[in-house]
Chains A and B, each alone.
Chain A
Amino acid sequence: MTNDPAPATGGDDPRWRLSPTKIVVGLILLAGIVVPLLVGTYARVEPRLFGFPFFYWYQLLWVFIAAGLCALAFVLLKRERDAFTRRRAGAASDSDRFEGGSR
């Protein structure tokens, strides 16, 4: 978050900060975007699978890989979020402030 007209409330929410989990999730998702777009790595006919040229079956395979990456990202973020909710429940009585967004 930057300095421009400071947001009304809660300008130091720990969830806003980058955490190791978020960096890992970001990299996992980035791989799911960049690798399927490296067309040069799969623009060929051989090896075939069930008669499908490599170019076609490899991309269909990536449908499953990308879904798996999203599922993994979902689980990782859920763990972080659950941990945050637990800690806040524990500290709810005194303050909403926490040190660091990482676990």
Chain B
Amino acid sequence: MSIDWVALTVLIVLFALVTVMGFQAARWRRADDMASLHEWGLGGKSFGTWTTWFLLGGDLYTAYTFIAVPAAMWATGAVSGFFSVPYTIVLYPVIFYFLGRMWSVAHRHGYVTTADIVQGRYGTRSLSLAVAVTGILATMPYIALQLVGIQAVLEVVGLGGSSALARDLPLLIAFAVLAAYTYSSGLRAPAMIAFVKDILIYIVIIVAVVYLPTKLGGWHSIFDAAQTKMAAPSAANPKVPTGVFIPAAAQQWAYASLALGSALALFMYPHSVTAALSSRTRSTGRRNAAILPAYSLLLGLLALLGYVAIKAGTKPIGLDGKINPQLVIPQLFEDQFPSWFAGVAFGAIAIGALVPAAIMSIAAANLFTRNIYKAYFKPQATDAQEAKVSKIVSLLTKVGALIFVLTLDKQNALNFQLLGGLWILQTLPAIVFGLFTRWFHRWALLAGWAAGMIYGTVVAYGGCTACSTRPFANSLALVPGFGDAGYIGITALTLNVLVAVVLSAVLRAAKVSNGTDITSQSDYFADLGDPEVEPVLSDARPTH
């Protein structure tokens, strides 16, 4: 495969443009003092509805999503791919329940992370440490996947080949640029770049969805081609069909539980919370729940491009000569569009990887700084020291992700991301239940978390249905006592909640101390301009 110079040039120009923007972002709504986590890590908590819309859109709908969802549709159809549509539908009613309270208590007490919120509510360092460590571990492979997304684009453009240096150099450059402007501009950089990324993605997908079906004979024939492929015997195992066009009764819980589990997990991820907490008022997040579904529509249409690629006969063959489904969308654009437009699409995907990667590394760094460094090593750390530690840790997390991508198999990054989703879901009871009630006992929540983590990890490692040879490669398993396969994360969460409820009842009956709560009820409703909203950093208030 030779290099497509036109597409590559367009890609480089777009990349250079956002690089300049990334560094300029430090001056956007500049604060007097950038040396605090509220400025560097949360953009001064100043973002309005539309900035938050672009930021959250750029953050949640990652480049990897744009590569992986249509790839899954192309390879095995609806259950592994299209579930992301109901996932992003039910996501917004789900977050509507708790986003307002989360924002209020965080702003009232100057919290930056979910583990801060848990610490404030239960005053228990081990519980907030569990939340923080889970968040960091789940985020690392997610950052790695963003780099995999960039790699997929570069591979289709034709960069790479036999030497490791030629293959990895572009990724190293992209990585260095990302690291540099995140370090200097903090959350303002991805917020500004998100505007460009999202507009490019919208243009590319709308053009593709309107133009390609006209060229290829209409949606009816595209769906027919997909149906034929999914019904044909699988290449790996001729006894079973290739994939699922419409889920049969036995597959419906798998489909629904994947959607529900993913929706519940998404706003437990540090990067989602970071973007949500950076908004200026309490209602920004909820208002966004009504306008962010625009991205879900986009994702649904994009998923269907996987079927378009089936009809178009796209051959996603990597530089190593093997079929790699993750190349299917870049290859579709390369085959069907003029080079310059393919370049725009590649630019959109590559830039789309930078926004979430930056936010994820910032969020993971904030967790480390606030809930490990400050909680365990340096309780007296000043704002400036916190910001400095976070900046350095954000670099380290990105280096870790880079090493992950360069040294391990790509499939490993994907598998660990699936495992990370399962893990982060287990922090939901500790984070969300406390926003509504203080009934749950801190040790019961910790035990529930541990039970869910252990069960989920063990089952994901060995007990999966339709298991591939690798551990952690499947997120579905038979649900005990139910008969059908379902998302392991939901089964583990059910166990988690059961343990938390039973142990809470026992520990409360035994009158075991449930920690110190430094929040009050009104903290969960505070809003900008409310008479009771004090300046941030008021968590030194007396508890009794």
Residues of A contacting B88 with CB < 8 Å?
63
* CB 8 Å contact bits of B522-544 with A (1 = contact, 0 = none): 10110000010000000001111
B28 interface contact, C-beta 8 A: no
**Given A36-B86, A60-B85, does the pair A4, B542 have CB atoms closer than 8 Å?**
no
* CB 8 Å contact bits of A30-48 with B (1 = contact, 0 = none): 1011001111100111001
Residue of B86, B286, B300, B524 near A16 (CB, 8 A) is: B524
Bound: A92/B289 CA distance, A: 32
Residues of B contacting A9 with CB < 8 Å?
520, 522
Residues of A contacting B294 with CB < 8 Å?
67
Which of the 9-residue segments B58-66, B192-200, B249-257, B358-366 touches chain A?
B249-257
B233 interface contact, C-beta 8 A: no
Bound: A67/B86 CA distance, A: 12
* CB 8 Å contact bits of B189-221 with A (1 = contact, 0 = none): 000000000000000000000000000001111
B93 touches A7 (CB 8 A): no
**Given A63-B89, A67-B92, A70-B290, does the pair A8, B246 have CB atoms closer than 8 Å?**
no
Residues of A contacting B522 with CB < 8 Å?
9-10, 13, 15
Q: Which residue of A lies closest to B508 (CB)?
A: A4
Bound: A17/B513 CA distance, A: 25
Bound: A87/B286 CA distance, A: 23
Residues of B in contact (CB 8 Å), total 64
Q: Which residue of A lies closest to B248 (CB)?
A: A43
CB distance from B57 to the nearest CB of A (A): 13
Bound: A50/B90 CA distance, A: 25
Bound: A78/B220 CA distance, A: 44
Q: Which of A46-103 contact B (CB under 8 A)?
A: 48, 50-53, 55-56, 59-60, 62-64, 66-71, 73-74, 77-78, 92
**Given A2-B439, A53-B223, does the pair A13, B525 have CB atoms closer than 8 Å?**
yes
Q: Which residue of B lies closest to A39 (CB)?
A: B252
B4 interface contact, C-beta 8 A: no
**Given A1-B438, A1-B521, A55-B78, does the pair A37, B300 have CB atoms closer than 8 Å?**
no
* CB 8 Å contact bits of B496-529 with A (1 = contact, 0 = none): 0000000000001000011111111110110000
Interface centre among B293, B513, B518, by most A CB within 10 Å? B293
B48 interface contact, C-beta 8 A: no
B300 touches A10 (CB 8 A): no
Q: Which residue of A lies closest to B296 (CB)?
A: A63
CB distance from B252 to the nearest CB of A (A): 4
Bound: A37/B85 CA distance, A: 11
Residues of A contacting B289 with CB < 8 Å?
70, 74
B220 touches A48 (CB 8 A): yes
Residues of A contacting B252 with CB < 8 Å?
39-40, 43
Bound: A33/B543 CA distance, A: 38
**Given A15-B525, A43-B252, A69-B93, does the pair A8, B518 have CB atoms closer than 8 Å?**
yes
Give 22 pairs: A residue, B residue, CB < 8 Å, sorted on A: A2-B438, A5-B513, A7-B517, A10-B521, A16-B525, A26-B97, A29-B94, A32-B89, A36-B86, A40-B252, A44-B246, A51-B218, A51-B220, A51-B222, A56-B223, A56-B304, A64-B297, A66-B92, A67-B290, A67-B294, A74-B287, A78-B283
Listed in ascending order, the chain B residues whose CB lies under 8 Å from chain A are: 78, 82, 85-86, 88-90, 92-94, 96-97, 218-223, 245-249, 252-253, 255-256, 259-260, 263, 283, 286-287, 289-291, 293-294, 296-297, 300-301, 304, 437-439, 508, 513-522, 524-525, 531, 541-544
Listed in ascending order, the chain A residues whose CB lies under 8 Å from chain B are: 1-2, 4-5, 7-13, 15-16, 26, 29-30, 32-33, 36-40, 43-45, 48, 50-53, 55-56, 59-60, 62-64, 66-71, 73-74, 77-78, 92
| For the complex of A and B, 5 pairs with smallest distance between CB atoms | A51-B220, A51-B219, A32-B93, A13-B521, A39-B252
**Extra 19 A-B pairs, beta carbons < 8 Å, given A8-B544, A52-B219:** A2-B438, A4-B439, A4-B508, A5-B514, A8-B518, A8-B542, A10-B520, A11-B520, A15-B522, A33-B90, A33-B263, A43-B252, A51-B223, A63-B296, A64-B293, A66-B90, A67-B293, A70-B92, A73-B93
